Amino acid sequence: MKIGIICYPTFGGSGVVATELGKALAQKGHKIHFITYDQPNRLDYFSENIFYHKVEIRSYPLFKYPSYELSLASKIVHVVKYEKLDILHVHYAIPHASAAFMARQILASQGIYIPFVTTLHGTDITLVGKDESYEPVVTFSINESDAVTSVSESLKKETYEYFNVSKPIEVIPNFIDLTRFKKQKKDHFKRAICPNGEMLLVHTSNFRKVKRIEDVIMIFDKVRREIPAKLLCVGDGPERQRAETTCQELKLTECVRFLGEIGEIEEILSVSDLFLMPSEKESFGLAALEAMACEVPVISTNTGGLPELNIHGETGFMSEVGDVEDMFRNALYILKEDNLPRFKEKALLRAKEFTLDKILPKYEAVYQKTLLESQIKC
């Protein structure tokens, strides 16, 4: 099968899932064509079944803002025609689904029908999509998709609640590659960060407001007043500078390190003891799943799709959004010497429920069903 994958090429959840899915499909023999404005960050090796098509974004004096959607739609048309793709899989509703619809209409006028599957990841629905300037396009694009999936039951429910969507939505959760995300022996790395045997807490995100980075800092500040601890913050984004300033004000600069964006995040997770995710909203919590796969328990909020992943009292604990005190108490409980091994074991067992071999066939089934239905339409 020749599959076109349209996604954001970033470290964000939707881009990571799309890239890892494409890589897994390529290993099974499918021809995967990534169509985006830059090479995806997780596309880190050569494969005879993986192709990358760069979307060129041109600026003209007449256009105040460059139109990525138009450039993307044109590129999709070109790739479908000349690579003879069978199906498109777009990740994130806008502008990817709307661009796929436009491309499908253009190709239909030339006697070519290309079906497309839209996967909803979170903020395309919960944040961007609710903006009244985008809502009609989001609703239309979802309803015009040949098939729609979402990464959690929570996101599916929210989509139906806030949009006039008539299309059936199939829930296919995010997945983890346990050959990559697993506990590694990095004792020397751990000793370099925590030379005195401190507990190591970690947070990874794109540092947007919804991730509540200030809460991460406050939780850690309370923990380190009780036990020796260090904190690693991985990622980058608009809230990073404010988080660094907060650490300076609290005199935490000696025990908190901001590492920026790191491709080999599993090496960091392998030496960590506890993962902090106090987000205001998470459609699934892929970063938490990656931590669990590396035997790291999770302190999270109970919002969005997190209750579908983090089992309260087993793989970690959940608290109300903003309840720093409760998250601090739960963190201390997990980090007790008698408790930590049990939570680490449960975290790994939970991660094994989301392995590629369990999730990949679900996407392949969606493709096959969509292709069959499209042949009937034609």
Q: Are residues 107 and 130 in the same domain?
A: yes
CATH code where residue 372 lies: 3.40.50.2000
Residues 46 and 120 in one domain: yes
Over the stretch 130-174, which tens digit does the pLDDT of each residue have? Answer: 567 778 888 999 999 999 999 999 999 999 988 889 999 999 999
Asked if 327 and 366 sit in the same domain, the reply is no
**Do residue 20 and residue 115 come from a single domain?**
yes
Q: Is residue 181 assigned to a domain?
A: no
Other CB atoms within a 10 A radius of the CB of residue 153 amount to 14
- For residue 234, tell me if it sits in a domain: yes
The number of folded domains in the chain is 2
Take residue 114 and report the two structure tokens written for it. 């290309």
Query: Do residues 155 and 53 share a domain?
Result: yes
pTM for this entry: 0.88
Peptide bond into 95 cis (omega under 30): yes
The pLDDT tens digits of the residues spanning 27-76 come to 999 999 999 988 877 777 678 999 999 998 877 766 666 678 889 999 99
Q: Are residues 166 and 194 in the same domain?
A: no
In this structure, is residue 180 part of a structural domain?
no
Residue 281 within any structural domain of the chain: yes
Report CA 31 to chain centroid distance, whole Å: 23
Residue of 99, 109, 90 whose CA lies nearest to 370: 90
Report pLDDT digits (tens) over 93-109: 878 999 999 999 999 99
In a domain, 182, yes or no: no
On whether both 228 and 135 belong to a single domain, the answer is no
- 378 pLDDT tier (thresholds 50, 70, 90): low
Query: Is residue 321 in some structural domain?
Result: yes
Which ranges constitute the DSSP H helices of 231-355?
A: 240-249, 265-270, 286-293, 324-335, 340-351
Do 159 and 273 reside in the same domain of the chain? no
Residue type, 361: P
Question: Is the residue at 151 inside a domain?
Answer: yes
Could you tell me the residue range of the domain that residue 293 belongs to? Answer: 187-354
